[in-house]
Chain A
Amino acid sequence: MKIVVAYKWTRDPEEASARPDGTVDWSRAKPGLSTYDPVAIEVARQLAAETGAELIGVTVGDKGVGTPLACKAALGRGLDRVVTVEDGSLADAGRSELAAVLAEVIKHIGDVDLVVTGDSSMDVAAKMVPTVLAGELGWPAVAEVTSVTGKAGELRVGREIPGGAQVLEISGPAVLATSADAAAPRVPGMKDLLAAGKKPVEHLDLAALKVSPQNAVMTVTGRSLPERKVRKGQLIDTADPAQAADELLTALRQAGAL
């Protein structure tokens, strides 16, 4: 059995700042493993450990995603090997384009039984790539996955749905997006990181993958910040706690908050 974890090496938006004109300054943001991807790796690692499957990390993106530092960060979490597509032209690639490249990498690897992804990427957070990828591959896509057991062709998948949970059985290959807290990721130890440096890394050339071109070009032509709500700045200043509580209650009622 072959399990692929599609992960993203990208910038943390918490370290970015939005300029008044709506453009984003990423210059201080350091690249790293996308927040939820360690969860996906851990879910897949546990299944691989149970089934003896090979666990392959796949990442596609801008220059930097294939650096030794980036690959070791992913490999240290328990992947057996990593396959990357590192290309400057993917810097501004949209979700569908990234999914199309991922699909070609998965075909290149061959005989993949399962693709696991994180809940969403930390920089875009659109939750679209797993679904589009499944569409490209002609496989079912399942989001909010909380557990995976079984083996190739007989997967048992737990997922959250609005108002409850479901258990699914899937008879063929599938793309699963794990929920944000599906597993507690392990912090790689020194031995994991030592081993990571010795694991194989394969760099694929984007041009050689024959990804079908997108039929439409999408360009961002405008950006704006969300409208900032004006705060009331109301201060309740009294020595008597009971009176302060009364005033707070009155103020909240007047504001329609209670």
Chain B
Amino acid sequence: MTEPVEPDFDVIVIGAGIAGCVTAYQLAQQGRSVLLVERGEEPGSKNLSGGVLYSRGMEQVFPDFLTEAPVERRITRNYINFINGDSSVAVDYRDARLAEPVNAVTVLRAKLDPWLAAKCEEAGALIMPGVRVDRVLTEGTRVVGVQAGDDELRAHVVVAADGVNSFIAQDVGLRKKPPQHHLAVGVKAVVSLPRKTIEDRFTLTGDEGAAVAAVGDCTEGVGGGGFLYTNIDSLSIGIVVRLDDLTAKKKVVTDIFDHFLEHRFIAPYLEGGEMLEYGCHLVAEGGLDMVGDIVMDGMVVVGDAAGLTLNTGLTVRGMDLAVGSAVAAAEAVGAALDQKNTSRATLAAYREKLFASYVGKDMETYAKAPHFLETDRMYKEYGELLADVLYGAFNHDLKPREHLVKVARGSLAHSPLKIMQLVKDGIAGARAL
């Protein structure tokens, strides 16, 4: 069944971020009439993203994505860093296999989103920037359109792609306000530096890029982490910290960010750079728990709005999941339109496709990650313990040397960590990640 009134569009997509654009693009390519409404004056002006995109999903939608889209650098170097006050221990993983085929790229959303929106327009979608959808129109249990100001427009299907807060999904009761421990706050800056300087500081050549993930003193022990990504001629640097822990530890997020920027192991990367952008945004970190109901009569929810974000500690993902959800949604919505039945039961194919794809599978695989990452010890004691063990190994203070195992035992004895916690966290980590 579809609604009796002939609607203005087949599909109205709310939000021209990655999930919204990719959904709109594919539906327009199917020949549907699509309206893409965006609150910002231009797509990409209202959102904030760390900036690493795992690009394979995007390549399935846009085969020439890597050559055509405004991507910055191919990530071939992952630098995982436990940062303490005066010491730091890192794993520096570099691999040519990450370059061919390309696995992840850095992007600047202020450039990428307008490109995606232009693709939608080429495919025949109508883009309306500068319009804030106030609410969706409902008739009974069915969503029939959107309202912005005094204007109402109707569609067979509405796609809510309105980001992490998704007022649309909350408004129609699909989603509850997420609990605080499912939310984090991100602060990010883009710092310009000459291309050559970036390549020298991160020992990169050509369009190679580096992604630094940091935990520990970079967030002053608050649950979360810091990141530093290389773009062509700028760096994206930021922190993401859990809201509940921030409140519990009575810290101010901008102070933590300043502390990170000024940290002795971070500041040298930024030296001489000029800050181009500075922003703050909520980040969903609830993992699978946050994915609630994402389908109802006449509406589906995609991307961040559907709670599709993953923090595994090593990788932080959102954009690739947005792409995956958009692919699943476009297929299901297209099929529902063909059947002239856009009820919840038909659109439920979206959820099935989503959970059959890498998106749903990964959300399930890492379902325990958010809880594991709430372990306080991750953000202080472990980094210090690692540094103490290495200090014992490298500090030749003319005392007789000891085997590393003994040094490690000694360090553990001095650390507030207990061996049982270590074992417990080790098992929990292995299960969660």
Contact = CB atoms under 8 A, between A and B. Distances in A.
Q: Do the two chains bind?
A: yes
A197 B153 CA distance: 16
A193 B128 contact: yes
A192 B153 CA distance: 12
Interface stretch (A54-62, A130-138, A170-178, A182-190): A182-190
Given A30-B42, A187-B149, A193 B276 contact: no
Given A30-B42, A32-B41, A197-B126, A189 B276 contact: no
Interface string A186-214: 01111111100100000000000000000
Most chain B C-beta atoms within 10 Å of own C-beta, residue among A28, A188, A192, A193: A193
B148 interface: yes
B397 interface: no
A193 B8 CA distance: 13
B256 to A, nearest CB: 26
A187 B134 CA distance: 14
Interface in B95-132: 126, 128, 130-131
B235 interface: no
Given A30-B42, A32-B41, A190 B131 contact: yes
Contacts of B139: none
Contact of A189 (B8, B41, B126, B151): B151
Most buried by A among B41, B131, B146, B276: B131
Interface residues of A, number: 12
B162 to A, nearest CB: 15
Contacts of B146: 190
Contacts of B42: 30
Nearest to B118: A69
Contacts of B8: 194
Nearest to A32: B41
Interface in A26-52: 28, 30, 32
B148 A188 contact: no
B131 A193 contact: yes
Contact of B131 (A30, A32, A189, A197): A189
Given A30-B42, A197-B126, A190 B148 contact: yes
Contacts of A28: 276
A30 B41 CA distance: 10
Nearest to A186: B149
Contacts of B276: 28
Contacts of A194: 8, 126, 128, 153
Given A28-B276, A30-B42, A32-B41, A191 B151 contact: yes
A190 B154 CA distance: 11
A190 B41 contact: no
Contacts of A30: 42
A30 B117 CA distance: 15
B37 interface: yes
A191 B276 CA distance: 36
A30 B146 CA distance: 29
B86 interface: no
A25 B143 CA distance: 47
Contacts of A32: 41
B150 A189 contact: yes
Interface in B142-183: 146, 148-151, 153
A187 B149 CA distance: 10
A190 B149 CA distance: 8
B126 A190 contact: no
A192 to B, nearest CB: 8
A190 B153 CA distance: 8
A187 B126 CA distance: 18
B151 A187 contact: no
Nearest to B127: A69
Contacts of A189: 131, 148-151
A84 to B, nearest CB: 19
Given A28-B276, A30-B42, A32-B41, A190 B151 contact: yes
A249 B150 CA distance: 53
Contacts of A193: 128, 131
Contacts of A192: 151
A190 B130 contact: no
A188 B126 contact: no
Given A191-B153, A193-B131, A194-B153, 12 more contacts: A28-B276, A30-B42, A32-B41, A189-B131, A189-B149, A190-B37, A190-B131, A190-B151, A190-B153, A191-B151, A194-B8, A194-B128
Interface of A: 28, 30, 32, 187-194, 197
Interface of B: 8, 37, 41-42, 126, 128, 130-131, 146, 148-151, 153, 276
Q: Which 8 A-B pairs have the closest CB atoms?
A: A190-B151, A189-B151, A191-B151, A189-B149, A193-B128, A190-B148, A190-B153, A190-B131
9 contacts: A30-B42, A187-B149, A189-B148, A189-B149, A189-B151, A190-B146, A190-B148, A193-B128, A194-B8
